[in-house]
């Protein structure tokens, strides 16, 4: 399988070479011949003996970076240094705390801190609801993990999870102007995680759970939502589900299908697979086959875990014996497992114009060349079309919740977010197979926030007797 060079392996090599009128073209040719993608070539210095040039390129992985650098050496260039731009971007972390009020004089200090701040503390002690306006609580989210299910890396621990939580905090601020703090907990059980989050929740307007392994993540989320009066959202579950629903709405528009008529196969009934199954069933899908590592789930199996039993009990799908049988005639397949969980050739058994969500990271269950003709593919990768990226929803969802001062994130609010994301794709974009918008779409985060706020306000509004 040939993979595409990615900005996650963006590298700058400082090269020394003799002066030549074709130098820049020759450098680009050398990198391209070794499978790299040239991003930029910058002239650093010209001397009497030659030139120094910074060549920036994308590669597939670390071994590929070494191959490209070795190729430059082989072609007669002196590679003096190689810098990994991703590591450079994370030096010192990707977030920082910046005060909203400047402190330049003793007068400023007296208002921001003591003695003036005592008046604010007294006000909040008397009227706790004013903390939402008089502190940062109303615009602050905790991004919480225990490091047990980090990206595609697995249980790497809370310290290794820190750069991921920092990155998520940066996305909150960049896309929805929500302040977010990475909280990495060294906890060993659901009880410890719930207790820790409950203890720190006072200072936050919402809790975004991240990279917590199943099935513990289900218990942690449910228990925290029961004991806290602020929204709790496990992004790996519900964030993925929201974006999948958005993509499926548009895929149905493209292929002339209706949600209620779809035959859907979901492979991998962990955190994301369970949430995806639930939101699809909530949205009208009736025929959904849930497949785990041992095959299709059987509602009669006494070994089913509670979250698995909930999914299969709600589906009207007929019993099947194997994944291959489940794929026969299926309109939609959703993979949230791993590369190799299925043989991509079984996709040919799906209905014409199949819709495939291959969401395993970093290697999806299927690539574009493995999709049957006429099929639509979505993955979790940024270098392939239709990236199912949780960042399409979580900044706007929390922005809407905070603005509405909602205490929960209901299924109705999640569905509203999905429809807002789907609506950000234009008719012209859908005509070429685009089913989810770019993360950098100028309106999508605002649209999600507005839709979620409206759904929260509607749910909170008193009902007439009719």
Q: Which residues belong to the active site? A: 113, 168
Counting Cα atoms < 13 Å in the Cβ hemisphere of 30 gives 24
Question: If DSSP codes are grouped into helix, strand and coil, which group holds residue 400?
Answer: helix
Alpha carbons 99 and 177: distance in angstroms, whole number: 14
Going through 210-268 in order, the beta strands assigned E by DSSP cover 232-234, 263-267
Strand partners, 186: none
b/e code 274-287 from CB counts within 10 Å (16+ = b): bbbbbbbbebebbb
> How far is Cα of residue 199 from the mean position of the Cα atoms in its chain?
27
Tokens of residue 275, six digits: 């949430």
Per the rule left: phi > 0, alpha: psi between -120 and 50, beta: everything else, 151 is left
Counting Cα atoms < 13 Å in the Cβ hemisphere of 267 gives 31
Residues with Cβ within 8 Å of residue 161, at least 6 apart in sequence: 145, 146, 147, 150, 184, 210, 211
The closest alpha carbon to 390, from 338, 436, 458, belongs to: 436
Phi, psi at residue 211, to the nearest 5°?
Answer: 55, 45
Alpha carbons 177 and 170: distance in angstroms, whole number: 10
Q: How far apart are the first and last CA of the chain?
A: 62
């Amino acid at each position: 399988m040939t993979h595409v060079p990615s900005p996650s392996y963006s590298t700058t090599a400082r090269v020394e070479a003799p002066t030549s009128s074709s130098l820049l073209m020759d450098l680009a040719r050398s990198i391209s011949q070794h499978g790299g993608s040239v991003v930029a070539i910058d002239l650093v210095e010209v001397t009497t003996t030659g030139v120094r040039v910074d060549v920036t390129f994308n590669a597939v992985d670390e071994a590929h970076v070494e191959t490209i650098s070795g190729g430059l050496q082989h072609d007669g260039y002196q590679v003096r240094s190689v810098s990994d731009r991703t590591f450079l971007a994370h030096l010192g972390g990707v977030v920082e705390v910046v005060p909203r009020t400047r402190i330049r004089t003793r007068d400023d200090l007296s208002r921001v801190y003591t003695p003036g701040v005592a008046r604010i503390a007294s006000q909040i002690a008397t009227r706790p609801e004013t903390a939402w306006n008089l502190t940062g609580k109303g615009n602050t989210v905790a991004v919480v993990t225990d490091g047990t299910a980090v990206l595609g890396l697995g249980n790497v621990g809370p310290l290794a999870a820190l750069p991921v939580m920092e990155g998520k905090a940066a996305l909150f601020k960049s896309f929805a102007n929500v302040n977010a703090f990475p909280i990495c907990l060294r906890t060993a059980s659901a009880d410890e995680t719930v207790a820790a989050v409950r203890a720190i929740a006072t200072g936050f307007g919402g809790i975004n759970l991240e990279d917590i392994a199943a099935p513990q993540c289900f218990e942690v989320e449910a228990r925290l939502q029961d004991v806290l009066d602020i929204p709790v959202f496990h992004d790996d579950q519900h964030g993925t589900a929201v974006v999948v629903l958005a993509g499926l709405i548009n895929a149905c528009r493209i292929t002339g299908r209706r949600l209620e008529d779809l035959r859907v196969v979901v492979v991998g009934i962990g955190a994301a697979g369970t949430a995806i199954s639930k939101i699809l069933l909530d949205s009208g899908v009736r025929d959904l086959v849930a497949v785990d590592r041992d095959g299709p789930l059987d509602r009669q199996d006494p070994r089913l875990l509670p979250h698995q039993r909930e999914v299969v009990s709600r589906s009207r799908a007929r019993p099947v014996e194997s994944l291959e049988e489940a794929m026969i005639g299926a309109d939609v397949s959703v993979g949230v497992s791993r590369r190799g969980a299925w043989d991509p050739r079984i996709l040919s058994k799906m209905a014409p114009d199949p819709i495939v969500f291959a969401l395993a990271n970093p290697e999806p269950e299927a690539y574009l060349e493995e999709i049957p003709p006429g099929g639509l593919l979505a993955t979790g990768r940024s270098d392939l079309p239709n990236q199912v990226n949780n960042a399409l929803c979580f900044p706007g969802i929390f922005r809407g919740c905070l603005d509405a001062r909602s205490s929960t994130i209901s299924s109705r609010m999640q569905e509203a977010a999905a429809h807002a994301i789907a609506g950000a794709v234009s008719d012209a974009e859908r005509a070429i197979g685009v089913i989810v918008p770019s993360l950098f779409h100028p309106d999508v985060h605002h649209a999600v926030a507005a839709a979620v706020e409206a759904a929260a306000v509607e749910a909170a509004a008193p009902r007439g007797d009719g």
